[in-house]
Every structure is written in C-alpha cells, then in structure tokens.
Structure 1
C-alpha cells in the first residue's frame, strides 16, 4: 500500500480490514458486476474506450479552456484534500496534485478498471491515490474533502440526485466544487443535442439543472458557463 493509500484510509467509510489493493488502487467493487446503463459509459469501461478518452480530452481542453483550469476554479490551497470524482486516466488528477502540494492529498475515484489502470501507470506524484467505487454509492465519510471536481461524468449516471447528494455530503462547509457535464447548449449545439444524447445514451443537462440541484443542497456563489455541448458549474458549500 502506497503512502497516499494509507492517507486515504481515514477518509473512507469502509472498515480497514475490508480494504483490498488491486493494481495500485483500492478496489471497493471487487467481485461485483458493474452495471452500465448508457452506451458512452460502456465504452469507458473497456480498453478501447479508455484509449479514446485520452484522444478526446486534449480536444476538449482546446475548445473549452474551463476544462484545464480546474485547480484555479477550485481555488485550491496548499495542503487541501481533493476528490476527483470520475477521474478517468488522471488527465486532471495530476494537475490537482501539483496545486495542493506534498502536504495535500488527491483521491481519484472511478468505476472503470481500465481507466484506473492507466491512471496508476501515469501517476508519479506521491500525494495521489486511487479508489474504484460507484459515484452513486460514494464511500467517503461526511465532510472529508476540502474540494471536489467531476469532469464529464454526471451525464452518465443513472441517479444524478444521488450523486449530488453525496457531493454535498462529503465536501466540508466552505469547500468548493467544479463540475462539468454534457449540456443542451444553444444554437446549433442545441439542435444537435437530441441526436448526440440519444446516440451516446448521455443526459444533456438544461442550463438550470445542475445549478438548481447545488442551490437546493446549500451551495452558494454558483457560476455556470456553457461552451457548445459542455456546461461548467462552480459553487461553494455554505460555511457552517
């Protein structure tokens, strides 16, 4: 078990004796079948999809600068604990690790074994550890992280409200979140939305869906921007 995994143990709402390390990450789904409910999600669960994700991500960063500014959007401080929810192959996770420094900790969580295998291989930073778990049953303790990001994940889950409930639960008062998801968009993007959503099996969020969910759960200072078919939403959990 790496130093980062040792540091993650107290954050998990799982007895330590039940934790098992597989391929460099905690696998909390070992032996459990992963039920994929959407076409795009099924793709990310296999090797081909994981490789394709690596090809798509640079394009997303190019056309939507918000996607490469996650540490700034979270206003990360040295020593912070951050959850990268749906971390994929660590395209954003590593930048978070650099932002919080060696005294900080970044937890990358994903449901895909293929994505996590890539993430572990490409991560040399000692303050990063990975967990395989389901976002709809987030295994972290209440108020255990200072900040949370989730990049292009929420449109794939079956129960968005369950995931947002967990997000509100695990972030400490005053903590920040930076979310992105596929969106209905405007103009040409909106005309294409039904076809893209249907093909990928992805939910295309209306402009007020995510902001209103966050507001209902005690988040303030909510800021939302849409670029094409991507929506970026940042917010801060109301201080205690």
Structure 2
C-alpha cells in the first residue's frame, strides 16, 4: 500500500478527489484565523517561515547549551520526545514546510506512516516538494475538525499551532479522540515574554491576533481533559508540553 492508501484508510469519510499532492480535507475555506494565520497562507509568509525553521534545523546540534542549544534541541527533536521506535503512525499537525515531518519520517522508517497536515496551501506545497519519503503523505485540514477515525493515530506532533485555533478545548479533544489510548503528544506553543518584555509580547499577540501561553496554561487544560504524564518546559519564547492521551 502507498502512503496515500494508508491515509485514506484512516479517514472517517473518503474525499472525492485523491489525486493531488496532498489531500484537501477542508470543506470550503474556514473563516479568518487572524493575521498570523493569514501570513502563513501567503507564499511570502511560507517562504520566510521555512527559512527560519531550516536554519534552526541545521544548527541545533552545534549550538552550545548555555546560549540556547538545549532549547533548540528540545524543539526540533520531537521524534525523541514522542519516543518513536519505528513503525508508528504519526500526525504532524501544523507541519508547515515539513521540517519536523522529515525528522518524524526518518524515525518511523518505511514501516511507519507520517501525515503532514496544515491549513496553509503554500506551506503544504513547500512541504510536499521537499519531503521525498515513501512513508509520508500530506493533508490540508482544520485542526479543530480532525477527519480521522477514533484512535487511528499512534502519536501526534503539534508545534506552533494552538496559538491560532479559535477554540483550544475543541482542538485538544479532537487530538485526544484520534490518538490511541495513552498515545504520546508533543506540543510547542509561543509563550509570554518574561518580566519587562511582557508588554511587547502582548502587543505582538494583539496585533497578530494570536494566543500566547503562560506557565501552566496549556498543561492545566490538558490535565482537565484527562491527558496524563503532562510535562512542561519553558524555552525562552516557546513552551514545550509533552503528554499522553487519556488512557481510555
């Protein structure tokens, strides 16, 4: 079976057109998700984001820990945070240009499957062009309306997505539903700046119409929804939260 065949088998409803470089599983175009999301929907925004992620991916192994290397490695090595050993089905939610998707593909190997999912077509176009793995396929989907059957996914990577969704709880419940019981999930979300810099990050969030996360904000919601093993770390401008889906 091809990766496309394997993805189709996980969907609650088969799309009418399955011939494109990615599956379009969004019915129509969702309303505006804010100015940051609109930037990611543009070719220039996708290109700029791709450049930033690619640079970090190239240097993370060489940056000393005292100047942020540990934080970079925590963000990029999502395969290690998920404990992947090979053969898993992984959803890379908000895959962007595919930087983390490629890491996940190497971790799951040919027996595994990685679904790179994003709402932005320019992001998916860049990801599909640069990710030549037989075990990878891409889908355009809405993070608040995941189209997979219950417990279809072994692990979820969700980096730099939750600050843009209008309804955080709906999104997290959807992730819990499609994950197998106790399946691992690795989040990365933008954080409030500390101390005197806080007003500047708050201004950025208001202008960009995006959510920023303070200490325990995401962790608390996850625990309320039944996620277990919740661990949170602050990496400067990003909060990393790892957890396991509810056991049943």
Alpha carbons of structure 1 residues 22 and 36: separation in structure 2 relative to 1, 3 Å: farther
1:178 match: 186
Shift of 1:59: 5.5
2:38 match: 42
1:7 match: 6
Q: Which 10-residue stretch deviates more, 181-190 or 82-91? A: 181-190
Structure 2 Cα separation of the partners of residues 115 and 129 of structure 1: 14
1:76-106 CA-partner distances (Å, limit 9, x unpaired): 1211110001111101001101101100000
2:64 match: none
Aligned residue runs from structure 1 range 1-240, under 5 A:
3-14=2-13, 16=14, 18-21=15-18, 23-29=20-26, 32-58=28-54, 62=60, 63=68, 64-65=71-72, 66-240=74-248
Shift of 1:208: 1.4
Alpha carbons of structure 1 residues 188 and 70: separation in structure 2 relative to 1, 3 Å: farther
TM-score scaled by length of structure 1:
0.92
Q: Greater strand share, 1 or 2?
A: 1
Structure 2: stretches of 5+ with no match in the other structure: 61-67
Structure 2 Cα separation of the partners of residues 208 and 200 of structure 1: 22
Structure 1: stretches of 5+ with no match in the other structure: none
Structure 2 Cα separation of the partners of residues 34 and 238 of structure 1: 29
TM-score scaled by length of structure 2:
0.89
RMSD value, Cα: 1.7
Alpha carbons of structure 1 residues 166 and 124: separation in structure 2 relative to 1, 3 Å: same
Structure 1 Cα separation of the partners of residues 199 and 120 of structure 2: 31
Alpha carbons of structure 1 residues 35 and 97: separation in structure 2 relative to 1, 3 Å: same
Shift of 1:60: 5.4
Structure 2 Cα separation of the partners of residues 232 and 22 of structure 1: 36
